[in-house]
A and B are shown apart, each in its own frame.
Chain A
Amino acid sequence: MAALVATLLALPLVGAQTYDIGGGALGIRTHFDWVAMAAAAVFAGRLALHLQQRLRRGREMVDETVFARLAVWGNRRALPLTLTGIAFAVALPFLPFSSRYLIDLGTTVLIYIMLGWGLNVVVGLAGLLDLGYVAFYAVGAYTFALLARHLGLTFWQALPFSGVVAASFGVILGFPVLRLRGDYLAIVTLGFGEIIRIILLNWSPVTGGPNGISDIPRPSFFGLPFAHSAPEGVTTFHQFFGLEFSATQRVTYIYFVILALALVTNLFTLRLRKLPIGRAWEALREDEVACRALGINPTNVKLSAFGIGAMLGGIAGCFFATRQGFISPESFTFIESATILAIVVLGGMGSQMGVVLAALLLVTLPEFGRAFAEFRMLIFGAAMVAIMVWRPRGLLAHREPSLRLVPKSTRVLWP
């Protein structure tokens, strides 16, 4: 009965909500059938939800969802799981079913994984909400593009510069704003991201404005370029190894570069977590006042997290530039920041595995959904809300303390 009353209450409001669907541009096309359908769908959905809750109430409430169990299981078998994952990632290009498309997709996923791990340092470990992460990504990409164009640096030479420049941007931004509390910080970083984008868009003499920068050099394998025919005196990769030329070689190579970068990032952050600075980040996330009392300087600690996150973003940006061969401000919009943040948060903040899972999910799902491409972002937004409502701590959010006073096995429960 309660279900019915609630449904009746929800019906006029939720049903009427879709009323404005009716309009077209300047003429009006009415779609009252859509309204009716939407209302019916909401009615049915509400009913189903109520019935489900009814059924649930009968049984005892168990919070053991699939993902919670997965998280615990993943935590217990972290090492074998990681090794399998890495082995699979390494073997991917050589598997019989792999194709150029698949490797390309894998590269994209890995870029997002790397960005996710980079942002994880800022959001997951230090607990600072950064909505403008894409700014550092853009700074890294443009640094490489400009260095390559004006100084003729190659990808590997420019990589550290991209990281350093992005990190210094992070520190410059971080210095004044890190005193702010969570949500204010989020808005300021969002503003910063937009500022960078607007500057890239309008500072045409340097950045090429909306046209961006093209002809960014591709990475070479220890000086061996991937090209069909090389200029005089340069051996190409396929000549050197006596292989048949194919475009897949370059794609595969790029895939391995990002795989290596991502793995280095992961190791780097894993080690950082064990250092005093990493512990300070996590402590700061949990309780800032207590940290201050213990003599940790919050600004410096936050600044280091911000700088390192920015550096990783810059390196990913550098790779992005060389992979695309072309960059423009279009690639660095707010939606990109939101996607990376979504990856971190959906995966469970601070969880490295979660980032991988979420990146796989968020990048490959739209690929499968090409058929209904226009609904892609719609579903993306809805999924963000749904996952937050359903599992606010993220998909794999089983958080183990990284340090225990008493080893797990010998722990005694208080009487």
Chain B
Amino acid sequence: MAYFLQQLINGLTLGSIYGLIAIGYTMVYGIIGMINFAHGEIYMIGAFISIITFLVLGLIGVSYVPLALTLVLLTTMFFTAIYGWTVERVAYRPLRGSFRLAPLISAIGTSIFLQNYVQILQGAREKPMLPLVQGGFTVFESGGFVVRLSYLQLLIMLVTLALMAGFSTLIATTPLGRAQRACEQDMQMAALLGVDVDRVISMTFVMGAALAAVAGLMVTLYYGVVDFFIGFLAGVKAFTAAVLGGIGSLPGAMLGGILIGLIEAFWSGYFSVEYKDVSVFVVLILVLVFRPTGLLGRPELEKV
């Protein structure tokens, strides 16, 4: 029981991170119907920017942890968002209206490019990061097994919750959110009615990148190491989460992320660590085969 609870906590933490990345996939897919393959790389860049910002802040002498965290959060979101914007502008916008596979290929190219870009600039070795938020509290103890919820895990879940709430409000109430929903339903009609579609798509990429940046920051804090290759696997898993939850749906992405996190945590906890990635892929295949619309997705009509 205690072990189960501990895995539950770990899974929820991991799931929050996946959920944040998955939102980026789901928003982009919802609006322009393409898989943004480079999104995992954006998340990786977020992790790198966060580690660099920490170092810079350390040099300047900001040592009060909450202040440093807030600053890093904002800087990382800002710069990663610029990356998201640039990727869309350079690699996807010229291909709008092209045939279906072109943006996907372009996305794979971007992903390879960004990976090697970071590798060349920052080196291929893992970057270690000193634990910043330490401590935690014991949930309960049974039979000598201590279930712990660290402050960091709590922080990750809380920040994720806050961001989710914030973004849902943004989409539901602001003019930008309304424009996004309009574009999702019918891009041409939205354009006719005076919505600047290109701007909306750009903003979608910016928002997705900002959320991925938060996920990158959290992973840096949580695992304490970052390397240039983390983007690929995290990207695929987050995409699985988006599909599982029903692509195009925000709460679905979050739910899917948490489910994937739980599956991964329990699988490594009870079966084998080596095959934990296989478990995620198997889930992906099963979901796509048996319920392609995901848990919370709307069925999609195929148009001739």
**Interface segment out of the listed A101-109, A188-196, A268-276:** A188-196
Min Cβ gap A391→B in Å is 10
A369 at the interface (CB under 8 A from B): no
Given contacts A191-B236, A384-B106, A389-B91, contact A183 B34 (CB under 8 A): yes
A78 at the interface (CB under 8 A from B): no
**Interface segment out of the listed A150-158, A234-242, A257-265, A334-342:** A334-342
Given contacts A20-B52, A184-B292, contact A385 B110 (CB under 8 A): yes
Q: Is the CB of A385 within 8 A of B55?
A: no
Return chain B residues, CB-CB under 8 Å to A159: none
Q: Is the CB of B281 within 8 A of A195?
A: yes
Return chain B residues, CB-CB under 8 Å to A14: 86
Q: How far is the CA of A105 from the CA of B24 in the complex (A)?
A: 42
Given contacts A28-B55, A177-B289, A384-B106, contact A194 B277 (CB under 8 A): yes
Binary per-residue interface labels of chain B (61-100) against chain A in the complex, 1 for a CB within 8 Å, 0 otherwise: 0000000000000000001001101100011001100111
- For residue A30, which residue of chain B has the nearest CB? B56
Q: Is the CB of A23 within 8 A of B55?
A: yes
Given contacts A198-B278, A381-B109, A385-B91, contact A25 B120 (CB under 8 A): no
**Interface segment out of the listed A52-60, A309-317, A372-380:** A372-380
B108 at the interface (CB under 8 A from A): yes
Q: Is the CB of A13 within 8 A of B106?
A: no
B48 at the interface (CB under 8 A from A): yes
Binary per-residue interface labels of chain A (141-184) against chain B in the complex, 1 for a CB within 8 Å, 0 otherwise: 00000000000000000000000000000000000110111111
Q: Is the CB of B274 within 8 A of A334?
A: no
Contact residues on B (Cβ < 8 Å of other chain), bracket: 35 or more
Interface of chain B, main secondary structure: helix
Return chain B residues, CB-CB under 8 Å to A382: 109, 113
A388 at the interface (CB under 8 A from B): yes
A85 at the interface (CB under 8 A from B): no
Return chain A residues, CB-CB under 8 Å to B90: 385, 389
Instruction: List A223-255 residues whose CB lies under 8 Å from chain B.
Output: none
Q: Is the CB of A20 within 8 A of B112?
A: no
Q: Is the CB of A13 within 8 A of B82?
A: yes
**Interface segment out of the listed B122-130, B147-155, B187-195, B257-265:** B122-130
Q: Is the CB of A129 within 8 A of B82?
A: no
Q: Is the CB of B275 within 8 A of A182?
A: no
Q: Is the CB of A187 within 8 A of B111?
A: no
Q: How far is the CA of A373 from the CA of B7 in the complex (A)?
A: 43
Min Cβ gap A61→B in Å is 16
- For residue A190, which residue of chain B has the nearest CB? B236
Instruction: List B118-138 residues whose CB lies under 8 Å from chain A.
Output: 119-123, 125, 127-128
B116 at the interface (CB under 8 A from A): yes
A91 at the interface (CB under 8 A from B): no
Q: How far is the CA of A20 from the CA of B78 in the complex (A)?
A: 12
Instruction: List B249-296 residues whose CB lies under 8 Å from chain A.
Output: 274-275, 277-278, 281-282, 284-285, 288-289, 292
Q: Is the CB of A381 within 8 A of B113?
A: yes
One of B55, B95, B114, B284 near A388 (C-beta < 8 A): B95
Given contacts A289-B304, A378-B117, contact A188 B288 (CB under 8 A): yes
Contact residues on A (Cβ < 8 Å of other chain), bracket: 35 or more
Q: Is the CB of B112 within 8 A of A338?
A: yes
- For residue B122, which residue of chain A has the nearest CB? A23
A16 at the interface (CB under 8 A from B): yes
Q: How far is the CA of A25 from the CA of B121 in the complex (A)?
A: 11
Q: Is the CB of B95 within 8 A of A389?
A: yes
One of B52, B105, B114, B278 near A28 (C-beta < 8 A): B52
- Determine which residue in A13, A123, A183, A334 has the highest number of CB atoms from chain B within 10 A of its CB, and name it: A183
Q: Is the CB of A345 within 8 A of B94?
A: no
Q: Is the CB of A182 within 8 A of B100?
A: yes
Q: Is the CB of B284 within 8 A of A188?
A: yes
Min Cβ gap B195→A in Å is 21
A211 at the interface (CB under 8 A from B): no
- For residue A191, which residue of chain B has the nearest CB? B281
A81 at the interface (CB under 8 A from B): no
- For residue A293, which residue of chain B has the nearest CB? B304
Given contacts A334-B232, A342-B105, contact A389 B35 (CB under 8 A): no
Given contacts A180-B288, A184-B288, contact A377 B59 (CB under 8 A): no
- For residue A386, which residue of chain B has the nearest CB? B109
Return chain B residues, CB-CB under 8 Å to A183: 34-35, 100, 104
Q: Is the CB of B116 within 8 A of A388?
A: no
Min Cβ gap A167→B in Å is 20
A21 at the interface (CB under 8 A from B): yes
Binary per-residue interface labels of chain A (5-26) against chain B in the complex, 1 for a CB within 8 Å, 0 otherwise: 0000000011011011111111
Q: Is the CB of B108 within 8 A of A129?
A: no
Min Cβ gap B156→A in Å is 23
Given contacts A13-B86, A384-B105, A389-B91, contact A20 B48 (CB under 8 A): yes
17 A–B contacts from the bound complex (CB under 8 Å): A14-B86, A16-B82, A23-B48, A23-B122, A28-B59, A183-B104, A187-B35, A188-B288, A202-B275, A338-B108, A345-B101, A374-B116, A378-B117, A380-B112, A381-B114, A381-B115, A382-B109
User: Footprint of B on A, CB under 8 Å?
Assistant: 13-14, 16-17, 19-28, 123, 129, 131, 176-177, 179-184, 186-188, 190-192, 194-195, 198-199, 201-202, 289, 334-335, 338, 341-342, 345, 349, 374-375, 377-378, 380-385, 388-389, 392-393
**Top 3 A-B residue pairs of the complex, sorted by shortest distance between their CB atoms:** A384-B109, A381-B113, A381-B112
Q: Could you list 10 further interchain pairs (A-B, Cβ under 8 angstroms) beyond the known A194-B281, A195-B282, A381-B114?
A: A23-B51, A23-B122, A183-B35, A188-B284, A191-B236, A201-B274, A335-B112, A341-B108, A374-B119, A384-B105
